A and B are shown apart, each in its own frame.
Chain A
Amino acid sequence: MTRPLIQISGLEKSFTSNEGWLGQWRFHQGKLTRQKDSVHALNGVNLTINQGETLCVVGETGCGKSTLARAIMGLTTPTAGEIHYLDQRIDQLNNRQRMFFRRRMQMVFQNPYASLNPRMTVYQTLSEPISFHNPQLSRAQVDEQIDELLESVGISASSSDRYPHEFSGGQRQRISLARALSVEPDFIVADEPLSALDVSVQAQVLNLMMDKQEERNLSYLFITHDLAVVEHFATRVAVMYLGRICELAPTNTLFNSPKHPYTQALLSAIPRLDSNTAQPIRLIGEVPTPTEKPIGCVFQARCPYANQRCYDVSPEMTLQSDGSSVACHAIEEGRL
């Protein structure tokens, strides 16, 4: 039975783009007013991640995927909304209170060339979290754990005194994974961990992640651009657009019958070898800038099925008969 591990409700995050205090003052109709310009990265995200599943988040650049990941990990504080781990609220904890959850939740980063400290050996990189979170361990025990960990991600333990620049991209990403696993978490956020690797190495890392999931009953929140990876790896898929989830469905359902017009367009853009008949759906218009808080459906400006209701009211996620949830007025009304 699946149990929700992470629950996110109504998560919003906006960044102030004119941070200087002086820059916020404006002359407007003869009055001096203070005004903050903000970029709305997340506009009310509701999401549940179940234990032992892989939830993939897909969407185009700038739609808030990474912000979502960082908000879950506590790297940025959300403007509004709640994040729960099992039944504890974790979004407003200070560093000390969060310490317990640091061990439970870890993160793997996008760029393997920047995510390891260039001036620390692999040994130092791994021993720091282990001895930090397990102060009772002796040095020999820490050494043993590090050797085990390195072997388990396919790096020979004898190379633990090397610096990151002596490893290839794939090896570094596996060391990153080892670092995340070093505190024995049960939830890992992976922010595009494969995008900086070439295809053959991607497969290695992906298989390693799947092995680890089986071994330790991990849950993943996996952020990616690559729909082929999603099809191969995900249990469920969430499609994001402009800071909102527009469709959430089990992988097979999503790939077989995409419902939201944006998902349809996204999937039709995958180049297929077996058929060249299907023309990709061409979306017209630009992605709106996220500086204005959207009114109505976020996809309204590019949606071929938009009507007046889409411009006025934001659609809610509604559960469909085949287990997927879609936020679209057109589907709700049966127009699509």
Chain B
Amino acid sequence: MKYPKKDLIHPISGSRWNHIWSGFVGDKLAMLALIIFIFYVLVALLAPLVAPFDIADPAFMDLMNAEIAPSWISGDSQFLLGTDAQGRDLLSVILYGTRLSLTIGICAVLIQATLGICIGLVAGYLGGRIDNFLMRCADIQLSFSNMMVAIVFLAIFQSLFGVARYQQLAMVILILVIGLTEWPLFARTIRASVLAEKQKEYVDAARVMGISSKRIMFRHILPNTLSPILVIFTVQIANAIVAEAALSFLGLGMPATEPSLGSLISAGFAYMFAGSWWICVIPSVTLIILILAMNLLGDWLRDHLNPRAYKD
């Protein structure tokens, strides 16, 4: 069907973003969280430019340099944050690790959101048996701990295809596992909003026009349910990063050759009591600050987009 170009203006471009932005300007904590998040994203994107060493360089890993303390302790200005047990510059590894963690987090949440939005829309709009079936599926999915599903799946994959194969595909598999296990959160929230929106007369008006269900769901109802999606999206990215870090810590995540923040922490943990605390602590602090910023953002968005708060 032909659709005029003018119509493609994003329907939420108007009031919602303005509303969010004007709230940011007045709130110092939210502004700080946003700045930290943007800083992380920039650093992750620009890691090859910012990092002092190229991690693909074979000379990068030099056991002669292993376990050098951060420069303010050792006085060695070559390695700002010291080196890890393989003699890699910790700053460079952390930069690349942040990049990996953020990629996995965002991609996994994109999968969650796509699945959850489609399922939630269909369940809420069509209702009846389909709704019952989909929501019971969501209940079943939620009754398994995500960690358990991920561990079982990753362990089976490793034993079926071997560790070497796993290490090649680790990132994709992690994204899929984390992405596929947490869709019910999105689906339930969307369904609840759809049930509220479905009652409104503009949906009836579109039906009377003969517009297809698919179009009503995605063009009419979905733009009106985006506020809660935005909130969950932010919080879920933090959760996905934590999940990835936890799996990596348990040895089921990214391999040591291609470390994410989680596998760095895990690798450094072994040297914790051997005196090389920085290998574990510095990546942990990096991760904690990122998660804290994401959660602060999510919380703030939740408060700010709450319709009851509009009235105050």
Pick the contact of A107: B6, B14, B204 (CB < 8 A): B204
Query: Is A123 a contact of B209 with CB atoms below 8 Å?
Result: no
Q: Does A119 contact B (CB under 8 A)?
A: yes
Query: Is B202 a contact of A129 with CB atoms below 8 Å?
Result: no
Which residue of chain B is the closest to A111 with respect to CB atoms? Answer: B201
Given contacts A123-B6, A132-B1, contact A114 B201 (CB under 8 A): yes
Across the interface, which residues of A come within 8 angstroms of B19, CB to CB?
none
Which residue of chain B is the closest to A109 with respect to CB atoms? Answer: B201
Given contacts A102-B209, A107-B208, contact A114 B200 (CB under 8 A): yes
**How many Å lie between the Cα of A109 and that of B6 in the bound state?**
27
Which residue of chain B is the closest to A103 with respect to CB atoms? Answer: B210
Q: Does A298 contact B (CB under 8 A)?
A: no
Pick the contact of A131: B1, B9, B12, B204 (CB < 8 A): B1
Query: Is B224 a contact of A118 with CB atoms below 8 Å?
Result: yes
Across the interface, which residues of A come within 8 angstroms of B5, CB to CB?
139
Across the interface, which residues of A come within 8 angstroms of B202, CB to CB?
114-118
Q: Does A325 contact B (CB under 8 A)?
A: no
Across the interface, which residues of B come within 8 angstroms of A99, CB to CB?
210
Across the interface, which residues of B come within 8 angstroms of A143, CB to CB?
4
Across the interface, which residues of A come within 8 angstroms of B204, CB to CB?
70, 75, 107, 109, 115
Q: Does B2 contact A (CB under 8 A)?
A: yes
Q: Does B17 contact A (CB under 8 A)?
A: no
Across the interface, which residues of A come within 8 angstroms of B200, CB to CB?
114-115
Q: Does B165 contact A (CB under 8 A)?
A: no
Across the interface, which residues of A come within 8 angstroms of B1, CB to CB?
131-132, 135
Given contacts A107-B204, A115-B201, A117-B224, contact A183 B209 (CB under 8 A): yes
Query: Is A131 a contact of B3 with CB atoms below 8 Å?
Result: yes
Interface size on B, residues (CB 8 A): 27
**How many Å lie between the Cα of A105 and that of B205 in the bound state?**
12
**How many Å lie between the Cα of A107 and that of B203 in the bound state?**
12
Q: Which of A83-133 contact B (CB under 8 A)?
A: 95, 98-99, 102-103, 105-107, 109-111, 114-121, 123-124, 127-129, 131-133
Which residue of chain A is the closest to B5 with respect to CB atoms? Answer: A139
Across the interface, which residues of A come within 8 angstroms of B12, CB to CB?
119
**How many Å lie between the Cα of A179 and that of B200 in the bound state?**
16
Given contacts A117-B202, A132-B209, contact A127 B14 (CB under 8 A): no
Q: Does A6 contact B (CB under 8 A)?
A: no
Given contacts A114-B200, A124-B11, contact A73 B210 (CB under 8 A): no
Query: Is B205 a contact of A163 with CB atoms below 8 Å?
Result: no
**How many Å lie between the Cα of A179 and that of B205 in the bound state?**
9
**How many Å lie between the Cα of A73 and that of B209 in the bound state?**
10
Query: Is B15 a contact of A163 with CB atoms below 8 Å?
Result: yes
Closest 7 CB pairs of A and B: A102-B210, A115-B201, A109-B201, A119-B223, A119-B11, A117-B202, A139-B4
List 5 other contacts, CB 8 Å, given A114-B202, A120-B220. Answer: A99-B210, A119-B12, A124-B11, A139-B6, A165-B15
